[in-house]
A and B are shown apart, each in its own frame.
Chain A
Amino acid sequence: MKFRIIFPLIYILFALMIISGAGAEALNSKEELLESELELAQKPQIYFMLNSSDKKIYFKARGIILKEIPVDDIKFWGYLSTIKPYTMVKRSSFSTPVRDKINLEESDEEEKKEEKKDTKEKFQLKALELSDMPVSYTLSLDDNLFISVSLSEKGKVSSLYSAAYSLNWYLSRPLYTVWNTIKKKPYTAINLRLKKEDAQSLYWSFVEGGKIIIY
């Protein structure tokens, strides 16, 4: 009879402990998140927030959302122990966009010819536009955090790239992890799969020195 009462009581107490613990953890996480965002929102800058549970990236300034892009898939390697702003150190990709240098020697007549041709055919503009941005790239951030972006849409080329990328991901990540563990350094890699235009707009706006909060 005693056991009949004791066991449910223990069960309820245990459940309550878990609930209160999880609640405290959630509150602590929210506090960290708000403090981190406040730190960024106080400055006149654009910053980014990656919500891993909602699978969304927010482009923000002063606490307001300027743009949000959906993340089709997210993969974590390693873990982030705290919620804080990370600074982007370097962007790298196979095809880095190249700025056009204005050719001063081009004569006016040539320009006029080009203009005529352009209006007849498809307008070819010498400019760095969104479509010139890469779709697959890696963002290196401080604290040995790497965010790699690849396409979620499957084409022939992107499937090939995706297979090569997966092979690299599964072979190199463990080695990096061991190496950094020996060096007592953190190592976290995040793989994001985005739609073409979203990947390009993230590359466009998230420049070196930019900040991101991941939660």
Chain B
Amino acid sequence: MKKKILLILLIITASLFFILEITGWYLGNYNSGAKTVKENTANQKKSSKPKKAKNVSLEDRLRALSPKGLYIVINTSGNRLYLKKGENTILEAVVSCGSGNILTEPSGKKRTWVFDSPRGEYSIKSKIVNPIWVKPDWAFIEEGEEIPQKTEDRMESGMLGDYGLAFGDGYLIHGTLYTRLLGRNVSHGCVRVGDKDLEAVYKQTPIGTKVILF
């Protein structure tokens, strides 16, 4: 008797499951796709001329948003920098972007830094020849050194190469001593470039040049 009840329950459960599956299957696959909503007939009866004109105007507005003149595109995962004009690539350079590592201050304020290169759109704010690195707090913490009080004790020359292009939030496109690491994610967020490529980028890009990182 018990076996019979169990069997009936099993059959009912299985049937319910199959009904749900079939219903879901039908609903899920019905009109499956990216854009399948049916336009109403009123829309179809309207003349297509204003729509065409509107689309042309939208395309123009979209085109107007693209960077004018030279711009820099940085692929942070592929560690590549592209100097571009329109759709043409003028220069391609192997770079080093952020390591993604985390540094936590062992004592005091217990601040945390994530060494990622930023993503999004920036622009070159300033251009510097022979930039001097004003070492931030994390640089001392990382080395296990005491954070100095005076600014002059933070200055270190030669670390950033011959040129620096600041693109906001303290990030720079600069040179590197560690050229063998170009192509790898090793920086603290800045974009490290080899000497020759850096010189070319520095000389060709004016202040205000768009920098897009992805």
Interface residues of A (CB under 8 A from B): 20-21, 23-25, 27-31, 34-35, 37-38, 41-42, 44-46, 50, 52-53, 59, 61-64, 66-67, 76-83, 99-102, 104, 123, 125-130, 133, 171, 173-178, 181, 187, 189, 200-201, 204-205, 207, 214-215
Contacts and interface: CB of A to CB of B under 8 A. Distances in A.
B59 A34 contact: yes
A76 B23 contact: no
Interface of B: 20-25, 27-37, 39, 43-44, 46, 48, 51-52, 54-55, 58-59, 61-63, 65-67, 73, 75-78, 87, 99-104, 106, 114, 119-122, 141-142, 144, 181, 184-186, 210, 212, 214
B77 A205 contact: yes
20 contacts: A20-B48, A24-B48, A25-B44, A29-B35, A41-B62, A41-B65, A79-B30, A79-B34, A80-B33, A80-B34, A80-B35, A100-B100, A127-B100, A127-B186, A128-B100, A129-B100, A175-B21, A175-B24, A204-B76, A207-B119
B58 A76 contact: no
Contacts of A52: 33-34
Contacts of B28: 77-78, 173-174, 177, 187, 189
A151 to B, nearest CB: 17
Nearest to B121: A44
Contacts of B31: 79
3 smallest beta-carbon distances between A and B, as pairs: A174-B24, A128-B100, A44-B121
A20 B44 CA distance: 7
Nearest to A83: B35
A139 to B, nearest CB: 16
Contacts of B46: 24
Given A62-B65, A205-B77, A67 B214 contact: yes
